[in-house]
Structure 1
Amino acid sequence: MRSYQQAQDIVRGDLEMTVCADCGFVFNAAFDPGLLNYGDSYDNNQGCSSSFQSHLNALISLLIDKKGVRGKQVVEVGCGQGQFLQRLVQEGGNSGVGFDPSYAGPPSLLDGRMSFESRYYDESCTSVPADVVICRHVIEHVPDPVMLLKSVRAAIGERTSAKVYFETPCVEWILRNGVIWDFFYEHCSLFTAASLSSAFQMGGFRVDEVRHVFGGQYLWIEASPVASDVKLNGGETYALATGYAEHELTLLQDWKQRVLALATDGRVALWGAGAKGVTFANLIDPDCELIDCLVDLNPNKQGKYVAGSGHAIVDPLQLKERGVSDVVLMNPNYRDENREILKQAGMSLNMIE
């Protein structure tokens, strides 16, 4: 947000995280899509991080080199501004069509090899041929994920040789690691490998592979538009979720005490002003009394304020001048990258996980 007051006045919603004992699907039973506003101030770009770029590089290599996505017609559902699709087109000799209601760029790029539709991809898109359909970090934002999958299946039509690839957060990683700041409003639908497979089977797909990527935090699924039996296996997730729920309040109180102790001896910052950092700030320090700021590599966030709590978002090079002595790392995947940034800047800070 552009000002502290705007941040404080943000619309809020409730989380009532619920687990299905049959299939293991985790969802927000209090979700109201009318409260969401993916406007100009919504920025989930992680591409400023070299660590995240390495993850994207691995996905591109997987698709092109191991899955043979070369010379194909690629459709990306929820393409954003098309950066990932553009790499697939350029590096794999593919052509591509990106679908996203929020897309705001030119209608085509790369001499027409890429085009964009500022709308949803659904059964009305059967005329758009697709050898490969990719959808990254969309399904967790959708309150009825099976309906989304059925729409994708209908759009593919009779092209049963097509391949479908989705990426989404892994709720098992959240539950096993007690990451209380990884439940937030935009993510109303969360999956384990088993429940994601069940959803795809319900949507009319055969699941070919599910793998954990990005240090186990994300799931990557490959599926084919061929009907298969639906298998439900939610027992383990139900046990994980109930175990997490029993300890959630204790986890929250422990983190509040840790941050309070750090703030007593010096200034504290959070590293990461994405969803994890925003959620942590609002859970632990909603009144901006303990945490000095959040640091983020995304220049579009620097100089602005965290939605809800109103903490300032700064460049990492500002930590020294702000007198910050301790930094709480929101995501361990960025540990080495962040330490190198501090080292190059000649800063020695205590990094807490």
Structure 2
Amino acid sequence: MSGLTCPVCGCAAGHTFLRRERVPGTQNLLSRSQEAARAVAFGTLDMTACEECGFVWNASFDASRVRYDQDYENSQTSSPAFEEYVQGLIDDLIDEQEIRNHRIVEVGCGNGSFLRSLVTAAGVRNTGTGYDPCYRGNSPELDGRLEFRLEFLSGKPLHEPCDVVVSRHVIEHIPQPVEFLSAIRGSLSNSSEARVFIETPNVEWILRSRTYWDFFHEHCSIFTDASLTTACERVGLAVTDVRHVFGGQYLWLEATPAEGVEVTRNPGDISELAAAFAVAERDWLERWRRELELAAVEGPVAVWGAGAKGVTLVNLLDPETRLVQCVVDMNPLKQGGFIPGSGHSIVAPEELCNRGVHHLLLMNPNYREEIEDLLTRLEVAVNVINVTERADDPVLIS
């Protein structure tokens, strides 16, 4: 498909570069039986790149295929490496951005830990309101200084004025991101110190790194730094900084409300990257399936990570659960469950010994050190394969 209208810049310059059918509609659902996991709603991917601004979106996204409720679980707080990264963001907001004596709203607060840290840090005197339909916990807290609302805000206005809006890993779930940003902009109109902080996946990193498992149905809107800037500018947010964080995998944007913001467009080389990615994926699927067949003969194969990356990988390479014995995850809420779509079992790291796993596929290189340290403590001898580094060189059998 070509000539599709871009949801960010409005130009009829979208070209579909990647199509996948029958993909799980929601990657992070908790399924307690294999039957339930295999019965989830499925959707279609038609990943489309805008040749005018560089935005990438799923032109076949279907919101009815996605569930955000109490069975949705995507927290990464079980990972020390990720916790260290998140603490760095919190420290930067408090110490460098001087977020003190502020009314903070977090859109998509998850379990509330990030917002809670911004409110409870020593001497900050902040108040906070978190929005998330998947929140599980008490509200209000801290004598009313912190409250949570079980709502999904896609384009609806916030209920209260505020000084700071933080939104981490939400906008990629929103099919109309400009409306979403407009609602955020409107909530800041009465604050003289208003600021916006947004974190979201970096599509340029995905395309350059050839992480084929980073395109999935939940993420219908994926940005380059330039296209995220364009989206903000369209609603009157002046972007003061965009940087690549978490090893380049994420974008971190800072902006302030302003009048008369000029809207810029810079597609970069998104079209070339997208075309090369699509061609390479076809070869990747064939070669990795062949290598997994060989690896499974030598010994049991497992995947580390039951998040969206792991869910996407096993559904792409082993939808019938023939080649991968299990998926390992450190999150106790996921252990004992099953992968949406394929139905692979999710186990704790301690289970690796009992299952005699020979090959372990590592989805995210940022976690390699902590995973290898844990395997050493558990005395698990296994061949760890960094899937990102070996995406185009899948030689599993030594």
Calculate the TM-score normalised by the size of structure 2. Answer: 0.86
User: Is 1:112 the counterpart of 2:129 in the alignment?
Assistant: no
User: Is 1:37 the counterpart of 2:76 in the alignment?
Assistant: no
Partner residue of 1:60 out of 73, 76, 90: 90
SS at match of 2:151: coil
Partner residue of 2:166 out of 124, 131, 134: 134
User: Is 1:266 the counterpart of 2:299 in the alignment?
Assistant: yes
| Greater Cα shift, 7-16 or 269-278 | 7-16
1:211-246 C-alpha deviation (Å, 9 max, x unpaired):
111111111000001131111011411221111112
SS at match of 2:90: helix
1:271-326 C-alpha deviation (Å, 9 max, x unpaired):
00000000000000000100010000001111111011111100111101101011
- Give the share of equivalent positions with the same residue, in percent: 47
Alignment of 1:335-346 (within 5 A): 335-346=368-379
Which residue number corresponds to residue 278 of structure 2? 245
Partner residue of 2:311 out of 278, 281, 297: 278
Give RMSD over aligned pairs: 1.4
The CA distance in 2 between the partners of 1:191 and 1:119, in whole Å, is 24
Give the CA deviation at 1:61: 1.0
Tell me the matched-pair count. 352
The CA distance in 2 between the partners of 1:300 and 1:119, in whole Å, is 22
1:72/1:94 contact within 8 Å kept: yes
User: Is 1:27 the counterpart of 2:60 in the alignment?
Assistant: no
1:116-165 C-alpha deviation (Å, 9 max, x unpaired):
23335566436x23221101111000000001001111121232531100
The CA distance in 1 between the partners of 2:39 and 2:319, in whole Å, is 12
The CA distance in 1 between the partners of 2:209 and 2:346, in whole Å, is 26
Q: Which amino acid aligns with 1:248?
A: E
Partner residue of 1:6 out of 21, 28, 36: 36
Q: Which amino acid aligns with 1:171?
A: V
4+ residue segments displaced more than 4 Å: 120-124
The CA distance in 2 between the partners of 1:78 and 1:141, in whole Å, is 10
Which residue number corresponds to residue 47 of structure 1? 77
Identify the structure with the greater helix proportion: 1
Q: Which amino acid aligns with 1:38?
A: Y
User: Is 1:226 the counterpart of 2:258 in the alignment?
Assistant: yes
| Greater Cα shift, 191-200 or 237-246 | 237-246
The CA distance in 2 between the partners of 1:18 and 1:343, in whole Å, is 43
SS at match of 2:359: strand
The CA distance in 2 between the partners of 1:18 and 1:344, in whole Å, is 44
Which residue number corresponds to residue 323 of structure 2? 290
Which residue number corresponds to residue 225 of structure 2? 193
Calculate the TM-score normalised by the size of structure 1. Answer: 0.96
Q: Which amino acid aligns with 2:184?
A: V
1:297/1:315 contact within 8 Å kept: yes
The CA distance in 2 between the partners of 1:269 and 1:211, in whole Å, is 34
Alignment of 1:93-108 (within 5 A): 93-108=125-140
Which residue number corresponds to residue 383 of structure 2? 350
Structure 2 residues without counterparts, runs of 5 or longer: 1-30, 387-398
